[in-house]
Homo-oligomer: A and B are copies of this chain.
């Protein structure tokens, strides 16, 4: 079965891909607003994993709407959730039998509730799987250390391919650099370089 898995170049989506790889024909799908080199960073990570990679461009209005949500809220969670749902919708509409992502048991955002998963499946005639939905943080860290070559850096410095990277850029364009630190807490993120032999 052909699987399109939303891929940021980070640890979670890479690990989800490796868990699915023995059983599906995996294509890593990076959605982008085309405003940074995020998709190119994700493409390099995908090449390091030896997996097929595609890019889907999302409408810029989705980024602006997500940013406005974040400004209203004062925190990024709901805006990130909106973009992730748009990414799954776009991937489901791109012709894959099965659609997937790196959401985990203990995630706060983005999440994919069962109701959204079933709605996505019904509306697009696809199947949705979340390979990490039944895995907690400690197991994911152990498997990632065993299977992946990873670099971690503070999120503002890291050249990766996730929504946050691009949304920070859109936010700075629309509201100025100073707002980024108000909305996005500083945290360490990971970028995947390849598989461990």
Contact = CB atoms under 8 A, between A and B. Distances in A.
B139 A98 contact: yes
A22 interface: yes
B105 A117 contact: yes
A134 B130 contact: yes
A128 B105 CA distance: 11
A142 B19 contact: no
Interface in A98-116: 98, 103, 105-106, 114
Classify chain A's interface size.
Answer: 20 to 34
Contacts of A136: 117-118, 121, 127-129
A133 interface: yes
Contacts of A46: none
B134 A131 contact: yes
Residue of A98, A131, A134, A139 with most chain B CB atoms under a 10 A cut-off: A134
A135 interface: yes
A138 B142 contact: no
Contacts of A103: 134
A172 interface: no
Interface in A30-45: none
Contacts of A98: 139
16 contacts: A1-B142, A19-B19, A22-B22, A98-B139, A103-B134, A105-B117, A105-B133, A118-B136, A121-B138, A127-B136, A127-B138, A127-B142, A128-B136, A131-B134, A133-B133, A134-B134
Interface of A: 1, 19, 22-23, 98, 103, 105-106, 114, 117-118, 121, 127-136, 138-139, 142-143, 147
